[in-house]
Amino acid sequence: MGQVLHGSATTTEAIRRAIQNSEESLRALSKRYGINQKTVAKWRKRTSLADLPTGPKEPHSTILSMEEEAVVVAFRRHTLLPLDDCLYALQPTIPHLTRSSLHRCLQRHGISRLPDVEGDKEPKKKFKSYPIGYFHIDIAEVQTAEGKLYLFVAIDRTSKFAFAELYSKAGKMNAAQFLRNLIAAVPYIIHTVLTDNGIQFTNRAVDRNAFQHIFDWVCDDNVLSIV
């Protein structure tokens, strides 16, 4: 098979081998092969003859911070929403996010394609039909270099309208604030929110009426049912 060299290569494997085996000076080898002395020095230091990959060793975005990339990845994996839906949902949290930067981020992390649910795989169970305004709220952990953060995510089961915000803590006060922000962001009336039984959303006491949870307060103030 022939050699595979990158487009800017100025040496062949034969020349590289000769450089590595030669005891001549850099200047002499540079003159002999018509190449820069830095190129001679580079191949003399190496033990292999193959071209190394170009570009950064750890590809990263020039637009998104590591924290923002972690948010994008967590949101995509958690919601499995299409590209444009992810973009629309994440732009309030990451205003400088563009469609191209989002796509490149998903490609870097190997999640640019949604899982195939056809063929020999069992199809996903479809949700029961609900009138628009039925939101499922959940929390996804986001690991960053600075530590753990929490991504609150809300998705309308009918319209697929998605809303997300990042918080440093996953407490009940942040859950209540997230619900207020969700209500302000959604362009139509929310009638029901579905949550798990986490302490962010409900009292763990047997008698939930012993004292009202702040998340319940927000629901009551906005005439929302919580399930």
pLDDT in tens, 203-217: 765 455 567 889 988
Is 78 inside any structural domain? yes
Rounded to the nearest 5°, which phi and psi values hold at 85?
-70, -40
Neighbours of 26 (CB within 10 A): 15
Asked if 144 and 35 sit in the same domain, the reply is: no
- Dist CA 85 CA 190 (whole Å): 19
212 and 189 housed in the same domain: yes
Q: Which of 77, 176, 64 is CA-nearest to residue 165? A: 176
Residue 178 located in a structural domain: yes
Q: What is the pLDDT of residues 121-146, one digit of tens each?
A: 455 555 567 789 999 999 999 987 77
Q: What is the rounded average pLDDT of the residues 151-166?
A: 92
Q: State how many domains the chain has.
A: 2
Residues 28 and 76 occupy one common structural domain: no
**CATH code at position 216:** 3.30.420
106 C-beta neighbours (distance < 10 Å), count: 19
Residue 136 domain flag? yes
Q: Are residues 18 and 100 in the same domain?
A: no
pTM of the prediction?
0.65
DSSP 16-77: HHHHHH--S-HHHHHHHHT--HHHHHHHHH-S--SPPPPS-SS---SSS-HHHHHHHHHHHH
- Domain's final residue, options 13, 30, 54: 54
Residues 89, 30 share a domain? no
Residue 60 domain-assigned? no
Do 48 and 72 lie in one domain? The reply is no
Regarding whether 91 and 199 lie in a shared domain, the answer is yes
Q: 36: domain range?
A: 1-54
Q: Are residues 43 and 136 in the same domain?
A: no
Same domain? 97 vs 203: yes
Looking at residue 118, what is its pLDDT? 44
Residue 120: the pLDDT is 44
pLDDT at residue 92, as a whole number: 85
On whether both 109 and 201 belong to a single domain, the answer is yes
- Strand partners for 193: 135, 226
Do 186 and 164 lie in one domain? The reply is yes
* Predicted local confidence at residue 63, as pLDDT: 84
Mean predicted lDDT score pLDDT of the chain: 83
